[in-house]
Structure 1
Amino acid sequence: MKKYKLTIPGLLPGLNEYIDAERSYKGKYKAASMKRQAQNVIGYMIRTQLRGVRFTRPVVIRYLWVEPSRRRDKDNIAFAKKFIQDALVETGVLRNDGWSEIEGFSDDFALDPKNPRVEVTIEEYEGGKQNGSKRKN
Structure 2
Amino acid sequence: MQEQRIVTITIPGALPTMNEIIDAAKTEPYVYSKYKKRYTELVHWCAKGKGRFERVDVVITWYCRNRKKDKDNIMAGQKFIFDGLQAAGVIANDGWKQIGDVVHRFETDKANPRVVVELTEVTDGSGAA
Specify every segment of 5 or more residues in structure 1 that has no aligned partner in the other structure, as ranges. Answer: none
Q: Identify the residue that residue 16 of structure 1 maps to in structure 2.
A: 19
Amino acid at match of 2:111: K
Instruction: Please report the TM-score for the alignment, with normalisation by the length of structure 2.
Output: 0.91
Q: SS of 2:124's equivalent?
A: coil
The Cα of 1:22 is off from its aligned counterpart by 2.1
Is the CA contact (8 Å cut-off) linking 2:7 and 2:50 kept in structure 1?
no
1:34 matched to which residue of 2?
35
Deviation at 1:103, TM superposition (A): 1.1
Following the alignment from structure 2 to structure 1, what is the Cα–Cα distance between the partners of residues 7 and 65? 25
Separation in structure 2 between the aligned mates of residue 78 and residue 62 of structure 1, nearest angstrom: 12
Corresponding residue for 1:80? 77
Query: SS at the partner of 1:97?
Result: coil
Matches within 5 A, 1:1-137: 1-24=4-27, 26-27=28-29, 29-47=30-48, 51=49, 53-56=51-54, 58-128=55-125, 135=128
User: What is the rounded CA distance, in whole Å, between the counterparts of 1:118 and 1:91 in structure 2?
Assistant: 17
Q: Aligned-residue CA RMSD in angstroms?
A: 1.5
